[in-house]
Amino acid sequence: MRYKYHPPIIVQKLFNNFIWKTSNNKILLTFDDGPTEAATLKILSILRVNQIKAVFFCVGNNIKQQPELVVKLLKDGHSIANHTMSHRLLTQMNVEESIQEINSFNDLMKEKFDYTVKYFRPPHGRFNLRINSILNSLNMKCVMWSLLTYDYENEIEKVKYTIDKYLKANSIIVFHDSAKCFDIIEQALNYTIGQADKKGFKFGEPEDCLK
């Protein structure tokens, strides 16, 4: 059942221009679906204490609702990445709609925060060859993952299982910045950081990890 936590090798080979693991043998933390009043500040506090930089794959509509949280993310030196404007499945849209979902996010970040977005992750991790072609045309890097924590199920023991069994030195880990994992996100992050330290793994800067 490893594929539940780590994407199949055949998929990684087929989409070999996507980023599936870090390039510098260091762990990269990523957070999907924010920013949110429920979880963002809690996540930022833990990252600040541990001096870890992360990539936040944000949703444009959430940015509109919580612009002050984006300011805090950027002030702390984290990277903002594109998780579409509305978190709709791109695989269910036509080309024009998909491009609009991606470009409207990038335009929002540029206009409101003077920030140029480099990285993208599709909602729910769903993609196909058409999405790949669109991202290539927009010159955006698609960052997937090598370790899905299932934190959105809000069960800390499940997160611990995934970390204990599948954490590697070059892991790109998916957590969520959302109300779904509010109850466990602190414990989940602290456990992950602790286990990485026990194994001698280091956390890397986003730009270095995603070269």
Instruction: Give, as one character, the DSSP assignment of residue 209.
Output: H
Over residues 128-149, mean pLDDT: 97
pLDDT of residue 176: 97
Whether 69 and 104 have beta carbons less than 8 Å apart is answered as: no
**What's the distance, CA 78 to chain centroid?**
12
Residue 100 lies in a domain: yes
Residue 211 lies in a domain: no
pLDDT of residue 138: 97
CATH of the domain at 103: 3.20.20.370
**Residue 202: both structure tokens together:** 């280091």
Residue 207 lies in a domain: no
pLDDT of residue 1: 46
Cβ neighbour number for residue 156 with a 10 Å cutoff: 17
d(CA 188, CA 182): 10
Q: Helix, strand, or coil here: 79?
A: strand
Read off the pLDDT of residues 9-41 as tens digits, 9 standing for 90 and up.
999 999 999 999 999 999 999 999 999 999 999
pLDDT of residue 4: 66
Whether 207 and 61 have beta carbons less than 8 Å apart is answered as: no
Residue 70 lies in a domain: yes
Number of domains the chain is built from: 1
Instruction: Give, as one character, the DSSP assignment of residue 3.
Output: G
